[in-house]
Amino acid sequence: MSAGELDLAIRQAGLAGILPEALRQFDGYLTLLLKWNSRVNLTSIREPSEIIRRHFLESIQCAQALPQIPDATLLDYGSGAGFPGIPIAICRPEIRVTLAESQRKKAAFLRETARRLGLASEVFDGRVEEMPPDRRFSIVVLRAVDRMIESSKSALTRVAPNGWLVVFTTKESGPKLKAALPEAEWHDPLSIIGTVQGEILICQGT
């Protein structure tokens, strides 16, 4: 993948273009992801074009949809291979991103990726429940985590007052999630580009 190819994919998807330095960082991210994925199961998607379509573009869409918050902090809950936390850190460098991942090998990948890309992101090597109970974030994001409803309830407790919870889900699962968190103020869903069922749900904490 060249920077030009990613730039073209971004524009074809109807997203705003990103800076040349960000394109360079995405190129490095893809290289590291493919290298580590050969020995650590980071993602089942191994074709670079599909990684761009399924992971990069969705995460960039999320980054561009996040609100502007002064001194914002963000928790990527169950970061895995770094989606969407690392793309958010690349596209929105003003947001201080924490990547939470309990699996040590994946956490090591995230730490190495942040170092190699020059990102000022923290990697929390453990379960979010193990964080100090008073630690809160302006934005908490969940994508492809286990037990989505239970995880979303847990994530909501990490949202700072007037902060935001962002959940990647589907049109089928979205109503169940909303019903499980009736205290949340849900906004209209954002359809995920390139999908039929995918959507991003955003709510504001109290």
pLDDT tens, position by position, 18-52:
999 999 999 999 999 999 988 888 888 788 888 88
The CATH number of the domain holding residue 104 is 3.40.50.150
CA 176 from centre of chain: 21
Residue 138, C-beta contacts closer than 8 angstroms, at least 6 positions apart? 69, 71, 72, 73, 74, 95, 160, 163, 164
pLDDT value at residue 13: 93
Segment 142-182, tens digit of pLDDT: 998 878 899 999 999 999 998 999 999 999 999 999 999 88
Peptide bond into 84 cis (omega under 30): yes
The residue range of the domain holding 94 is: 3-204
Spatial distance between the Cα atoms of 152 and 180, rounded to a whole number of angstroms: 9
pLDDT value at residue 197: 92
Spatial distance between the Cα atoms of 131 and 77, rounded to a whole number of angstroms: 12
User: What is the number of domains present in the chain?
Assistant: 1
Per DSSP, which regions of the chain are E strands?
73-77, 96-100, 122-124, 137-142, 159-170, 185-186, 190-191, 198-204
User: Per DSSP, what are the bridge partners of residue 185?
Assistant: 204
Say which range, 13-27, 38-52, 57-71, 95-109, has the weakest mean pLDDT.
Answer: 38-52
pLDDT value at residue 147: 86
DSSP string, 57-90: HHHHHHHHHS---TT-EEEEET-TTTTTHHHHHH
Query: Does residue 76 carry a pLDDT above 90?
Result: yes
Spatial distance between the Cα atoms of 94 and 32, rounded to a whole number of angstroms: 23
Distances (CA, A) of 65 to 16, 104, 118, 160, 190: 11, 30, 23, 19, 9
